[in-house]
Chain A
Amino acid sequence: MTAVTDAPKQSFQLSMLINDTRYRGLTFQFIALVLLVFAIGYLVNNLITNLDDQGVVLSYEFLGQPAGYDINQTLVPYTSQSTHLRAAVVGVLNTLLVAFLACATATVLGVFAGVLRLSKNWLIAKLMAIYVEAFRNVPVLIWIIIINTIVTILPAPAAYRARGDTPADLELLFGGIAFTNRAVYVPAPVWGPGSGIVVAVFLLSIAAIFFLRRYATKQLYDHGRVVPTLWPSIGIFFLPTLLIFFLLGRPIGLDVPTIERFNFDGGLQIQRPLIALWLALSVYTGAFIAENVRAGILAVSKGQTEASAALGLRPGRIMSLVILPQALRVIIPPMISHYLNITKNSSLAIAVGYADITATLGGITLNQTGRAIECILLLMLFYLTISLSISAVMNVYNNSVRLKER
């Protein structure tokens, strides 16, 4: 960065450290480095003194000891005898689970709300505006608590039980879904022999649809022939899978939850804290995504629509060939950072008692072992890894779609 000039050779003088562009930068950086080292040294020194005073040694041995607490919603086998490390893994998976679910629903909700807010329908546009403003301007923590409270006033599982001759107060929805204040119970799939084939056929048909579309585009480009895709796609999506499903004698069954004395048995249980957190993060972030979607659509100028219409493109094609590709450039980057926000906001699980990583590692484990520094360091490392990998993905995307400009 510094220039090699053929200026007359000067002997080095101290003032050149400040006045010469070749050394000036180095001088400042050196000063900054010294200050930084001093600051870090000071903090570390305090840390060591404080740890010494309390006779504590930093160590991660506690991760191997039994955790001794229960977690009601786990994706992997876990008992109170499992280690703290195992509890942390359960927490990580739970964080990822709620983040994934909330990202999916928030996107759907946000896209709908964003598009509807631009609708010509006055009433719907206003309602969507109210939704967006109400959720954007109130803290997410308050929404999580409010939605948790709403979920709490659902009926107790006992309401689904018939007592003697009196029929139950409530019926299972579609004969298999129950909403209670403890959890939502849905039928769980049972994978019988041969179910793998059904799944494989289903995946294959999705691939087939993909290739059909590729083929159709190629036909259009090479020969100018239009190959119909809509109905064939729908056909390929359903028919082969259903056919093989019934031919193999319905290998995939459903385990419907049944009501026992006090609670449901069987089926898939989605515990209340998960539901509350999932819903709250979805509607909260959905409001932000709605704003992005709206901005993205508005960012594509009306001239683009008019120009494509003047070229004779039909509205559907205008949307898919001209508007969407441009709008997505605007929409996707903030969308990804909202996904990141969902992941970070999921740490508020602790407020409703959902066992995510912050609640297990940063909550109960920390309180039981007193290993504050170790736990929080691990916790931050986990979130940092997720954030940095998502930003890496985002950078790749940004570079790939950047408009080629001079």
Chain B
Amino acid sequence: MSDTHARSVAFVRKEEIPPAPPPASQAGVVMWLRENLFSNWFNSILTVLGILAVYYLVIWLTPWLANGVWDADSLSECREILDGTRGACFAVLTERWNQLLFGFGYPSDAYWRPALAFVLLFGAVAPILFSDLPRRLLILTALYPFVAYWLIWGGTIVVPIVAILGFVAGYVAYSQVVDRSFAGGALAGIAAAAVVWWLGGFISDEASGFLALSEVPSRDMGGFMLNMILGTVCVSLSLPIGIVLALGRQSKLPIIKGFCVVFIEFVRGVPLITLLFVANVVLAYFLPPGSNFDLILRVIIMITMFASAYIAEVIRGGLAALPRGQYEAADSLGLDYAQAMRLIILPQALKISIPGIVNVAVGLFKDTTLVSIISMFDLVGLIRGPILASTDWNGVYWELWGFAALLFFVICYGISQYSQWLERRLTTDQR
């Protein structure tokens, strides 16, 4: 019988086994190093190479940064101060910071205005970017363009107020009529806005001194401010156009669809620089004779066209990602096309598209540097032109380009981190 007992499979644990620390090779710094850096010979070689690369970079950069001269009037003065030691000449940044940021034409006593507009931008964008904030804050976003225009370009406050009133009147008229027909509402809105703007034109001519900031012409916009202006204006204008194009491309009507496809594919098929050439030398031919659009406006038109084609493609992706059942449910409830799009389809499609739109926006913001090629003085244009060409600072490449790269990096990296955060949130949201 003892035999059977020994073979019995029945088992009951009497005492718990306490958890024990792992063997030394499985824990602590040693294990981390082995697992992460020296798991095999190939990895070890990579690690050594990596450490060497970082080492040389640090050895090379540290004295350059540490010996940096922040206070001098020219490169030669920098060199005198450095006295043969290796070091950066950051003095160019301290001396020319105002040009780098605002361009050399913007009146220096008005620097606070674009700076304030820049700070306000965060407040305006926040309600769009973070859907947890109360929806009522969106009114700040709606007001921002007018305030920013007034701050940056100056002039009487009556102009932006009239513009706002026009939009308000348009909206009121629209919401009165939209119950009957969307198209009618849109027409009524446009008509009401036009009337208000027309009337307002007289008032603002009369009251040109009322609460007026000194006017700054467009050609004086420059530096990083110009990049910011082009980026924000073109992205915000291209959003509605992109939505319309995307809807048009999804349409069943061949003429409308065909037009949208041709437009989108054309714009996406040519480099931005050719469109900027168009803005620079060709667009004027297509505008009414005698009209005088300044270059910044023509550039805004072309960049907006460019961006809206890309945004349209992103939104088309979002539209295509919606299940067909959503369209059918809207149909079966009796919603018409405008209602179904506005209430059901677009809110969902736009939400999916936000990360893609943000990527387009980042790309576009980077591409605003291309205006330097048609000799506008944005950040890159200023460095390449006036600053590097000046006798004082001829040859200060690294400090200036490093600064420009850093400015763009901070903003673009920030936005792309936001977009990744949003993407993670979207994937966890959808259950």
A and B assemble together = yes
Using CB atoms and an 8 Å cutoff, list the residues of chain A in contact with chain B. 1, 25, 28-29, 32-33, 36, 43, 46-47, 49-51, 53, 116, 119-124, 127, 133-134, 136-143, 145-146, 149, 344-345, 347-348, 350-351, 358, 362, 366, 372-373, 376, 379-380, 383-384, 386-388, 391
B282 touches A373 (CB 8 A): yes
B362 to A: closest C-beta gap in Å: 7
A383–B277 Cα distance when bound, in Å, is 14
A138 to B368, CA, bound (A): 12
Q: Which of A25, A142, A373 has the most CB of B within 10 A?
A: A142
Q: Determine the residue in chain B with the shortest Cβ distance to A379.
A: B274
Within 8 A of A (CB), among B325-340: none
Q: Contacts of A121 on B, CB cut-off 8 Å?
A: 36-37, 39, 43, 46-47, 50
* Distance in Å: Cβ of A45 to nearest Cβ of chain B: 9
- Complex contact A127–B273 (CB within 8 A): no
17 A-B residue pairings within 8 Å (CB atoms): A32-B255, A47-B286, A51-B285, A123-B37, A127-B50, A137-B362, A137-B408, A141-B380, A142-B369, A143-B405, A347-B273, A350-B273, A373-B285, A379-B277, A383-B269, A387-B265, A387-B268
Name the distance in Å between A257's Cβ and chain B's nearest Cβ.
Answer: 28
- Contacts between the two chains (Cβ within 8 Å), count: 155
Chain B neighbourhood of A28, CB < 8 A: 253, 256
Question: Which residues from chain A contact B369 at a C-beta distance below 8 Å?
Answer: 139, 141-142
Contact status B51-A138, CB under 8 Å = no
Q: Are A372 and B281 in contact (CB under 8 A)?
A: yes
Lowest 7 CB-CB distances: which A-B pairs, in order?
A: A387-B269, A137-B412, A344-B271, A139-B366, A122-B36, A372-B281, A347-B271
Determine how close the nearest CB of chain B comes to the CB of A183; give it in whole angstroms: 20
Whether, in the assembled complex, B278 has its beta carbon less than 8 Å from a beta carbon of chain A, the answer is yes
A127–B54 CB distance below 8 A: yes
Q: Which residue of B lies closest to A32 (CB)?
A: B256
Q: What's the Cα separation between A161 and B103 when bound, in Å?
A: 45
Out of A122, A145, A387, name the residue touching B384 (CB < 8 Å). Answer: A145
Q: Which of B253, B256, B408, B413 contacts A142 (CB 8 A)?
A: B408
CA gap between A379 and B284 in the complex, in Å: 18
A130 and chain B: residue at smallest CB distance: B54
B residues adjacent to A (C-beta < 8 A): 35-37, 39, 43, 46-47, 50-51, 53-54, 252-256, 259, 265-266, 268-274, 277-278, 281-282, 284-289, 362, 366-367, 369-370, 372-373, 380, 384, 397-398, 401, 404-405, 408-409, 412-413, 416
Contact A351 B373 (CB under 8 A): yes
Q: With A121-B46, A134-B409, A376-B281 known to touch, is A383 a contact of B287 (CB < 8 Å)?
A: no
User: A133 and B252: CB pair below 8 A?
Assistant: no
Question: Which of A1, A43, A350, A358 touches B252 (beta carbons < 8 Å)?
Answer: A1
A348 touches B273 (CB 8 A): yes
A137 pairs with B269, CB closer than 8 A:
no
A394 to chain B, nearest CB (A): 13
Q: Which residues of A contact B47 (CB under 8 A)?
A: 121, 123-124
Query: How many whole Å from A52's CB to the nearest CB in chain B?
Result: 9
Cβ of B401: which chain A residues have Cβ within 8 Å of it? 142, 145-146, 149
Contact B416 A358 (CB under 8 A): no
- Decide if A348 touches B274 in the complex (CB within 8 Å): no
Instruction: Judge whether B409 and A138 touch: CB under 8 Å.
Output: yes
- Complex CA gap A388/B269 in Å reads 7
Q: Nearest chain-B residue to A350 (Cβ)? A: B373
Whether the Cβ atoms of A123 and B384 lie closer than 8 Å is no
Which residues on the A side are within 8 Å of B252 (C-beta)? Answer: 1, 25
Pick from A47, A53, A139, A380: contact of B380, CB below 8 A: A139
Q: Which residues of chain B have C-beta atoms less than 8 A from A120's C-beta?
A: 35-36, 39, 43
Which chain B residue shows the least CB distance to A345?
B271
Q: Pick from A46, A123, A345: contact of B287, CB below 8 A.
A: A46
Contact of A348 among B39, B46, B373 (CB under 8 A): B373
B200 to chain A, nearest CB (A): 26
**Complex CA–CA separation, A81 to B270 (angstroms):** 30
Tell me how far the C-beta of A377 lies from the nearest C-beta in chain B, rounded to whole angstroms. 9
